[in-house]
Amino acid sequence: MFINDLNSIRDRFKALSSDILHIGQNVAYMSNDARERAFDEARSDAYQLGVDLDKAVKKRTTTTYTENSEDLSKLLEGVVACVEADEFTYSTLWRDHAIGGKDYGRHNTHRFTWDNRTVTSVIVGNVEDRPVNVQISLAVIGGVKVMFYHGCSTLVDHDMIRNFLNIAMPSTARDANGRINNTNADGFVGVIPRPQKAA
């Protein structure tokens, strides 16, 4: 239904564009009244298209994630950070930061133990009949539990993913103000707590 509404609006927009082009090509041959009337009609049609597009977007059927299952709560228990990273990015981070990962001459000083990977996926909402799916990978890195996630469905809604994180992440992954310890691959090293050096 949402897609049909958008297709109809697209077709009306094409017709309006053609009308405006026709007015532009013939503006020199039109009387002032005819020109004003044509532009007023085009403005009115454009405004109505905007109103109809807004209605179509608001009307789309969506559901969002509302609560953790017991299994997911247990799985995420003890997570201290979450990192947005797809499979390739995860592999690259492992290569660059895991003890035993490839060096490629980088001489990376931020190396961590890295083990116990668990992978699952969660449907965080639906748009029309289409699920919005997030893949979750958990690993213990430098002795702390880190969650990697990315939208893996054909349709990805980042607002739904943010909503899921706000609901799903345990208190261990939040600062004193409740803000989630969340980053992308560039900030990965910053979310892993460093071992304390002996005095």
What residues does 11 pair with on adjacent strands? none
Q: Which residues make Cβ contacts (< 8 Å) with residue 157, sequence separation at least 6?
A: 62, 124, 125, 127, 132, 151
Q: What is the mean pLDDT of the chain?
A: 81
pLDDT tens digit string along 154-179? 889 898 999 999 999 999 999 889 99
Q: 196 pLDDT band (50/70/90 cuts)? A: very low
φ, ψ of residue 104 in degrees (nearest 5): 50, 30
pLDDT at 141: 87
What pLDDT, on the 0 to 100 scale, is given for residue 198?
Answer: 44
- Return d(Cα 7, Cα 13) in angstroms, integer: 10
pLDDT tens, position by position, 45-59: 888 888 887 777 666
Task: Give per-residue pLDDT as tens, 65-83.
Answer: 777 788 888 889 999 999 9
Q: Does the structure show a pLDDT above 80 at 110?
A: no
Bridge partners for 144 per DSSP:
141
The answer to whether 125 and 62 are in contact (CB under 8 A) is: yes
pLDDT in tens, 23-33: 888 877 888 88
Query: Residue 188: pLDDT above 50?
Result: yes
Q: Which long-range contacts (CB under 8 A, 24 or more apart) does 73-78 make?
A: 73/170, 75/118, 75/120, 75/136, 75/138, 76/138, 76/147, 76/168, 76/169, 76/170, 76/173, 77/170, 77/172, 78/145, 78/170, 78/172
